[in-house]
Amino acid sequence: MDFLKSLGIDDLNAGASTGRTWLTAQDQGVLRIVSPVDGQLGAQVSQASELNYATMIASAQTAFHSWRMRPAPQRGEIVRQIGEQLRAYKDPLGRLVTWEMGKSLQEGWGEVQEMIDICDFAVGLSRQLYGYTMHSERSSHRMYDQYHPLGIVGVVTAFNFPVAVWAWNAMIAAVCGDVVVWKPSSKTPLTAIAVQKIITRVIEANHLPEGIFNLIIGRGATIGEKLLHDARVPLISLTGSTDVGRHAAEAVAKRLGRTILELGGNNAVIITPAADLRLALPAVVFGAVGTAGQRCTTTRRVIVHEQIYDEFKKALLKAYSGVRIGSPLDERHHMGPLIDVAAVEVFNAALESAKSAGGRIIFGGRVLSGAGYESGCYVQPTIVEAENHWEVVQRETFAPILYLIRYSGDVENAVALQNGVPQGLSSSIFSNNLRESEFFLSHAGSDCGIANVNIGTSGAEIGGAFGGEKETGGGRESGSDAWKAYMRRQTNTINWGTQLPLAQGIRFEV
């Protein structure tokens, strides 16, 4: 495949890099990367060892001491050059994302564009790492706060956004003066290797030291655990399931480290009688079907008022009948495969649970086979009439299953259903009623980190802080002031007078 060669992917690839040097272990086994698109072997990766990890962390520590002293706008210039390199490789890198993960080619290119966009954002941010000035209660004193680089930032990413989530973290951390250790999903390591090789060109062209951008591919039980428990890594940003996030939070908290957790979502769209169904329908379909239901912001529940339930259901079934499933490398297809056969088993198990609870499958529900589906990872997008309190509806299933839920009464009832799950990532309401929309956005409304009006649950822009509440983890990445999580805050007071007054009017005579 030409895109693999153009990105420097070899038949066998080293599993760790310090930015200039690739580190190889001989005794940790090899990952065979098979595409869910066609079941074909793309390349292999030698998993990193604990010795590789030790070498990499030492390199990162050394690099941090010089990188933090480089002025932030100069760090931004390096990030700008990374963005330019990503622009040059957008097409092959997007194709690799699609081939390795299975999302549509439009989404593959879109993921690389998201990396480019966050580079642009971070370049501007490099001149805007603001602190505040406060008035002191003591005469001839000045008081202000400022932000300093934090250190090594560990970034653990999931398979569904194999490169964009890393960029959210790494580009912001870089302009903040931090260095990054990236542990990607073992299901999608080739995209990580390709990005690391792109970055290496910028590192070498600017004669930067090793250790600013580091990559390590290895087992969670060894490399992952070392990263979580390593006191030299003050911040861990982790994207994954709620169970994985809970374990990470406990491990890092024991050493009083920091975490940014982006965990499970169970996102709902509310459709009120005042909704514009022409807007709502495509938003729900893309939200539920995009990335084959493997986004943390995927629409998993649609809560529809009883007055328009039958009308919306009919339109939804018609729209689903037009979803084209097949190789995501073919731009005519809307939906590609699940990541692997194990994900297909989860899909089947969830549908069995839904049927046992009383759910009715009104569309889809089958695993596809035959020509074009040889990998065994393709399923039909599925709609299930369900009730919100069922256990299967309460949990996140990473698959294209949409639960259709009826509500009656006013919008408060719909919001109560939406909020009545353990997760709190993304939410949406479709309504042209100002009062309904404003209630949804009020203190008594959506309890999610993302709340949208007349747009869907997925497809967040990089300019806003991304993250959720409750079992979603509480972390924030990407835009707004999320950069503050990657720095340490310091309050400074300067006495420029000739006296030493104490705060609160305390007197102390010596």
Catalytic residues: 262, 296
Q: Which two tokens stand for residue 25?
A: 């272990």
Distance of CA 387 to the CA centre of its chain: 28
DSSP annotation string for 137-187: SSTTEEEEEEEEE--EEEEE--SSSTTHHHHHHHHHHHHTT-EEEEE--TT
Going by the DSSP 8-state scheme, the letter that residue 482 receives in this structure is G
Phi first, then psi: give them for residue 228, nearest 5 degrees. -65, -35
How is the beta sheet containing 30-34 ordered, strand by strand?
A: 12-13, 41-46, 30-34
Residues 72, 153: contact at Cβ < 8 Å? no
Closest C-alpha to 272, from 427, 414, 403 = 414
Q: Which two tokens stand for residue 232?
A: 């030299």
Query: What gap in Å lies between CA 87 and CA 507, rounded to an integer?
Result: 63
Q: How far is CA 352 from CA 349, 383, 403, in A?
A: 5, 13, 14
HSE at residue 94, side-chain half, CA atoms within 13 A, is: 23
Residues 456, 269: contact at Cβ < 8 Å? yes
> In the beta sheet, which residues pair with residue 270?
303, 429
**Using CB atoms within 10 A of its CB, is residue 54 exposed (0-12), middle (13-18) or buried (19+)?**
exposed
Position of tokens 């965990």?
Answer: 263
DSSP annotation string for 183-231: E--TTSHHHHHHHHHHHHHHHHHTTPPTTSEEEE---IIIIIHHHHH-T
Phi first, then psi: give them for residue 87, nearest 5 degrees. -60, -40
**Single-letter amino acid, residue 498:** T
Q: Are strands 450-453 and 133-134 parallel, antiparallel or unpaired?
A: unpaired
**Using CB atoms within 10 A of its CB, is residue 427 exposed (0-12), middle (13-18) or buried (19+)?**
buried
Residues 282, 510: contact at Cβ < 8 Å? no
Query: What gap in Å lies between CA 61 and CA 58, rounded to an integer?
Result: 5
Helix H or strand E encompassing 53: helix 50-67
Closest C-alpha to 161, from 433, 462, 456 = 462
